[in-house]
Amino acid sequence: MSPAATASGPARPGGTLRRLLSARNVVVAAATALALLLPLFGSNFFVEFVMTRTMILGIAAATIVFLAAYGGMISLAQYLLAGVAGFMVGNAVVAQDAWSKGLKLGWNPWVAVLFALAVTTFVAFVLGALASRTTGIYFLMITLTYAVIGYYVFGSITPLSGFGGITGIDPPGLFEDHPQRMYLALVVLSVLVYVAFRVLAATPFGLALQGIRDDPVRMASLGFNVSLHRTLAFTLAGFTAGLAGVFNVWWNGQIDPTSISIGPTLDLLIVAVIGGTLSLEGAWLGAFVFVTANNYLRNLPLVDHIGITEARFNTIVGVLVLLIMILSPDGLAGIIDRVRKGLRRLIQQPPGSGAGPAEAATGSSP
Amino acid sequence: MTAHAVDERELQLRRPFVLPRWVSRAAVWVPVAAAALWVLVLARNTSAGPAIREPGEFVVTLLDGVTFAGLLFVVASGFTLIFGLMRTVNMAHGSLFLGAAYVAHEIQTNMVGKDANIDARDVSLLAWILPLLAAGAVVALLGLVMHQLLLRWNQGQDLRQALITLAISVIAADQMLAHFGGVAQPLKWPGAVTHFFEIMGERYASSRLFMLGVALLVGALLWLWLNRTRMGMVIRAGVDDQEMVRALGINITLVFAITFIVGSFLAGVGGVLGGSFAGSVAPGVDGAWLLNSLVVVIIGGLGSVKGAVAGSLLYGMVVALSPAYLPAGYTYYSVIFTFALLAVVLAVRPNGLYGRAE
């Protein structure tokens, strides 16, 4: 928010429009426009590989951010839920005569999507109901346990998949051989998810959820059903992660338990952490940084000299997270925020006595 | 009278959502009774057979459960000890487990003088105990370094600490993969404990009982340390009220460091036991044992050593019984039972059997 926006306040006529034109929204809108126009000038590899993957990971990471920022829950089960949707699509669409594992139901791909999302939402509801009575570190541990158990469930239950996974999963005709269309659909979906999460935050449900985040005991004594709110938030996040999982499996064409194991689970958390677990935009920013690093870091000329090869990518990711957690637990968004505040202080200091209460008021909104 | 009634209502409101008592009782006893009936009489088409017909198989399966529970306890007790005192969830616990197993493998192959095809008969008692102690010491030192450098200054920020240790586990797993490769490396029991003997007509490996013996020894030492020494008294007091301990003039930072050393050492001992139990050390074991530790402490209650015993026994039993008593051809569903155990405990006691609400 710029100082002008803060000064105008919501009471003035035209305040709503002014508020919609905040710096945050303008930047997001510009980024969206850029993403939509990208196929016109970006290279095929950049659009169909880097940016498509960014959007998928961004949507999945946004569900982590949603739960963390509005619900105070850090969930490690989001990649598992995306994987559940992926496995369900795989089991449903692969044809009976295909050379693959799984149930091979051979359904219409769009029916398969509905089926996958229904199963994922149900699984998220059950897992959420079990975990929602705990918070903080317990919630993190329980969801991590879900993630690891999920890996073994799909790995050992061979009729569903087995460790070899399901291969040859074709996207529906709309997207088959049209990777640019899939990219554009993902941009639209990203915007929908982003707007939906932000609008939700202002609804009675979202406000109650944030109240529960801040003081569950008080909200309970005001008559709110704390665990039900948490469960529903987790279910919604699970459904959204399922959407990301459907696109992920279309994009990959296959899925196996290793792709939802503890490594990728941490990668997704890392995406959320890079962007900052408290800012929704950070999810896509983090995804972009992660995917870019994953694709281009190995091509840097000096990398081989210091003994870091492609295979050691996890070490780089780990060190990156370690540094972020040590230096700025709010991630890149936190760093940007700090730089902005520092700049503003630099600009405002000379004329008068500093920022004063206006800055304190703007600083706390997630 | 009316004031009393109002109090009651307020209490009702403030209390978090709790299942009615009969539901939670049914959630526990109905599955337990059904499982008992199945195991005793009905389990015909299973690898073990009904317990009344095949009592030997039943006893051996129970023994499997108890001995595996011993291993679980050694690993999880270190995890829960650290959490109980410092509120630090050490996500790198599995990495310490795997690291210790690799160190022990290196020392053992050097002592035996063979690289591959090590047979238990080649391994003297010394060629097992020395690697055990050395590996324990190495990871204890690593744990201490990790605590001093990365966790000491952010004490109390539990999520940040969990993510820091998670990052360490990613780095450690990748570096160990680079160093030791993706192929399983051998780690063997000493020849003196690898025999077979008969129990009710079934052959049973004495190494499993040896493992249980080591676990009991570790448990006994831990109990003596926590309950019969001054340091243990301070730790128990610190679990209850850290601020008070600090205010009494006790150097709790030192106690934290020592607890981290002991917790990491226990992960190391567990790693050597677990590696010898599996016969080999391989990548991925760190994640599996982080899961095992998590399941045990979520069931037992984070921070409670008593809970670690209970959680290990329950989880060990489920791990041993479910593949043995599932119908042949369906044994791959046994992982569901791990989740079912977790679900039942969480539904009835969200903070675990011996856990306390935050």
| Cα B221 to Cα B137: distance, rounded to the nearest angstrom | 17
Nearest to A145 among B10, B170, B294 (CB): B294
Q: What integer pLDDT is reported at residue A264 of this predicted model?
A: 86
Verify whether the Cβ–Cβ distance A266 to B335 is below 8 Å.
no
How many domains in chain A?
1
Task: Tell me whether residue A292 is in a domain.
Answer: no
If pLDDT is split at 50, 70 and 90, which confidence band does B265 have? very high
Q: Return the DSSP state at B354.
A: S
Give the Cβ contact number of residue B126 at 10 Å.
Answer: 10
Of B177 and B357, more confident: B177
Verify whether the Cβ–Cβ distance B17 to A133 is below 8 Å.
yes
Q: In this predicted model, what pLDDT tens digit does every residue of B201-242 receive, in sequence order?
A: 788 888 899 999 999 999 999 999 999 999 888 888 888 888
Task: Tell me whether residue A14 is in a domain.
Answer: no
Q: What integer pLDDT is reported at residue A16 of this predicted model?
A: 73
- Does pLDDT of B260 surpass 60? yes
Q: In this predicted model, what pLDDT tens digit does every residue of B290-299 receive, in sequence order?
A: 889 999 999 9
Verify whether the Cβ–Cβ distance B175 to A262 is below 8 Å.
no
Nearest to A145 among B157, B332, B342 (CB): B342
Task: Tell me whether residue A33 is in a domain.
Answer: no
Mutation to test the B interface, candidates A325, A326, A330, most B Cβ within 10 Å: A325
Whole-structure pTM value: 0.84
Nearest to B166 among A156, A227, A266 (CB): A266
Give me the domain span that covers residue A258: 41-273
If pLDDT is split at 50, 70 and 90, which confidence band does B76 have? very high
Report helix, strand or coil for A255.
strand
Nearest to A322 among B168, B287, B333 (CB): B168
Q: What integer pLDDT is reported at residue A240 of this predicted model?
A: 96
Task: Tell me whether residue A90 is in a domain.
Answer: yes
Element (H, E) at B198: strand B196-199
- Give the nearest chain B residue to A129 (CA atoms): B347
Task: Tell me whether residue A288 is in a domain.
Answer: no
Q: What integer pLDDT is reported at residue A301 of this predicted model?
A: 59
Task: Tell me whether residue A32 is in a domain.
Answer: no
Average pLDDT over residues B48-64: 82
Verify whether the Cβ–Cβ distance A145 to B170 is below 8 Å.
no
Q: Closest by alpha carbon to B302, among B349, B233, B246?
A: B349
Give me the phi and psi of B202, to 5 degrees please.
-115, 145
If pLDDT is split at 50, 70 and 90, which confidence band does B269 have? very high
Q: In this predicted model, what pLDDT tens digit does every residue of B95-108 receive, in sequence order?
A: 999 999 999 999 99
Residues in chain A with CB shorter than 8 Å from the CB of B150 are: 322, 326
Task: Tell me whether residue A331 is in a domain.
Answer: no
Q: What integer pLDDT is reported at residue A360 of this predicted model?
A: 40
| Cα A250 to Cα A255: distance, rounded to the nearest angstrom | 10
Of B1 and A105, more confident: A105
SS3 content of chain B, % helix, strand, coil (to 5): 75, 5, 20
Verify whether the Cβ–Cβ distance B16 to A227 is below 8 Å.
yes
Does A34 contact B at CB distance below 8 Å? Answer: no
Mutation to test the B interface, candidates A139, A144, A146, A294, most B Cβ within 10 Å: A144
| Cα B219 to Cα B299: distance, rounded to the nearest angstrom | 18
| Cα B107 to Cα B127: distance, rounded to the nearest angstrom | 8
Q: What integer pLDDT is reported at residue B3 of this predicted model?
A: 45
Q: In this predicted model, what pLDDT tens digit does every residue of A44-71 receive, in sequence order?
A: 888 888 999 999 999 999 999 999 999 9
Q: What value of ipTM does the predicted structure carry?
A: 0.84
Residues in chain B with CB shorter than 8 Å from the CB of A225 are: 17
- Does pLDDT of B69 surpass 70? yes
- Does pLDDT of B38 surpass 90? no
Q: In this predicted model, what pLDDT tens digit does every residue of B111-133 receive, in sequence order?
A: 888 777 777 777 888 889 999 99
Size of interface A-B (CB pairs under 8 A): 132
- DSSP β-ladder status, B280-281 and B202-205: unpaired
| Cα A28 to Cα A32: distance, rounded to the nearest angstrom | 6
Q: In this predicted model, what pLDDT tens digit does every residue of A168-212 receive, in sequence order?
A: 888 887 888 888 889 999 999 999 999 999 999 999 999 999 999
Average pLDDT over residues B177-183: 87
Mutation to test the B interface, candidates A132, A133, A234, A327, most B Cβ within 10 Å: A133
Task: Tell me whether residue A303 is in a domain.
Answer: no
Nearest to A225 among B17, B290, B343 (CB): B17
State the amino acid at position B96 in one-letter form.
Answer: L
Q: Closest by alpha carbon to A332, among A270, A265, A268, A273?
A: A273
Query: What part of A 247-276 touches B (C-beta under 8 Å)?
Result: 261-263, 266, 269, 273
Q: What integer pLDDT is reported at residue B296 of this predicted model?
A: 93
| Cα B124 to Cα B189: distance, rounded to the nearest angstrom | 9
Each of the 366 residues of chain A gets a pLDDT tens digit; together they read: 334 444 444 445 556 777 777 888 888 888 888 888 888 888 888 888 899 999 999 999 999 999 999 998 989 999 999 999 999 999 988 877 776 777 777 788 899 999 999 999 999 999 999 898 888 888 888 998 999 889 989 988 888 888 888 888 888 878 888 888 899 999 999 999 999 999 999 999 999 999 999 998 899 899 899 989 999 999 999 999 999 999 999 999 889 888 888 878 888 988 888 887 788 888 999 999 889 888 877 666 555 555 555 567 778 778 888 888 888 777 677 777 777 888 888 777 655 444 444 434 333 333
Q: What integer pLDDT is reported at residue A304 of this predicted model?
A: 55
Spatial contact of B273 and B321, defined as CB atoms under 8 Å apart: no
Q: What is the dihedral of CA B120, B121, B125, B128, to 10 degrees?
A: -30
